[in-house]
Structure 1
Amino acid sequence: MNLLHSPPSRAAIVALAAAALAYAGALFVLQREPGFSVVEPLFLFAMLGVVFPLLAWLCTLKRDAASAPLPERHQLPRVLVYLAVFALAILGWGFTAINTTFPDEPLQSIVQVVVKLVTMVVLPAWLFLGFRLDARATLSSRRLLLVFVVMSLAYLAMQAVFGRGLITLHELSPAASTLAWAIPLCWLWQTLEAGLCEEVLFRRVLQEKIALASGSQVAAVAWASLLFGLAHAPGLWLRGGHLMEGVAHATPAWAIAYSIVMVAPAGIAFGVLWARTRSLWLIVPLHGMVDLLPQLAPFIRAWTGA
């Protein structure tokens, strides 16, 4: 089924309705926090939930091949159990233990990426894919490169204007010689640590299995984006992520609501790109590019001790 080319199925309507209700309920929970404004989350949703998915769809018009999934079992119940255990054991308690045991950088980051690679790439690929990550890309290499360039420039422009990445980089004031090696290495690091790990687990495994089970790419994008956000809730609650958001006392309800409103929209455009291109060669390095500006200053600090 071609995303946005066919009338929505019942599975798609149910998924979109559930996502909308979850988002509305999460906004209701968050607006009870002192000083909370709906402006930022609504702007974020407009950009990441509407503008960028639409751009992704426009960039992938006139595909070079039919979108035919590889023959494989959906195994969706097992995938959902694995995701729940992973979110609690790794993103919640696991990284808390890592941060306590390895407080110094860059060792902490190295241990984290090793754990991520094992739990988000190696184990899911073994358990659910038989180590077969390919999924029959529907665009030629030249077209994929064009999509990568267009989407990268769009994300970088948005972050340069609205994000804090350039501000924190300016505050750090790294030398030009530092930037010369830090920019490409940070992109490669984010491509590995965030791109490969998150896209294999959430797009190649989770979204693909939902699409196989539901018969709807629209439903798969909606459910996978929602679960992508929810998987971050244990970390927000258990690892002190609430403090960076100005919330003194986090609750599970706050963590779930925040993950739905502020994290889940980021997965929509990548879900559209996966559904329409089926190419990890596109979405993995693109994810690294998306995280480049926000993570550049922390990367320099971690690897130089600045």
Structure 2
Amino acid sequence: MKISYDSRGKDPLFTGSIYLFLLAALVCLLGPFIYVVSSSFATEHEILNRGFFLFPKEWTIEAYGYLLSNDNFLTSFNNSVVITVCGTAINIVLTSLMAYGLSKTWLKGRRVLNFMVLFTMIFSGGIIPTYLVIRELGLINSYWALYLNSAIAPFNLIVMRSFFQTIPSELEEAARIDGCSELRLFWRIIIPLSMPSIATFTLFYAVFNWNTYFYAILFINNSADWPLQVYLRQMLVVSSSGMEEQAGAFQYTPAVKMAAVIITALPLLVVYPFLQKHFNKGMMLGSVKG
């Protein structure tokens, strides 16, 4: 069987199959997303009677107005913003500092520390020991329980350490000769050169903190301090269990649920395009050297 190639040496049939597969995947991904968006602008009657649809017959923003008028939702949204901003800042600072230190071959005890980091990727302390430690530290009902418990992700640390190892040591030696301290060298030279990697892991940590759920329900008992993901879960539980009060209470209609999903996903959808150009570059630069 003879295989034909175009002028660039590529098989048209293989290339066409790839595009066809990607198109099918795109349709599978966009279908549910378009349905969620459309349902958030539809009336409750239309959602219950039409079933699946891509475009509502009657457009309305009542679900968004109804949702944004709920103080509990706004409070949980604000909580998620605080957790994401503060948590991501702590994650990036601690991860970059530790990764930079472990990237130095002259650091005493480097092998032991690297082994300890790798060990935590394979074995975790467990839920009960983690809870007991957080409780003994007096961090229950505190956001510090979320910040410190997930301050450094081992995988992110290892990749960022590998990225720091790719930076020429001559740059650091020249800075030290000019009298630059280690901390100033890190902030003035290493960090600007590492922006692709830092932007990539900022996105990783931001997504993790924004979607935090399990540790929030484990360590945060006060409902006024719950992040948005816990509130959405409670919305589903209350709605499905029939616990809603009919008079003067917030009604979690299907359109309101869809609107809550859209508002929850919107911040990450807005931020991602600004970090996308750094994403692939940061991952590749941090993975070429072990």
Q: Same fold (TM over 0.5)?
A: no
Provide TM-score, normalisation by structure 2. Answer: 0.25
Provide TM-score, normalisation by structure 1. Answer: 0.24
For CA contacts below 8 A with separation 6 or more, give which structure has more relative contact order: 1
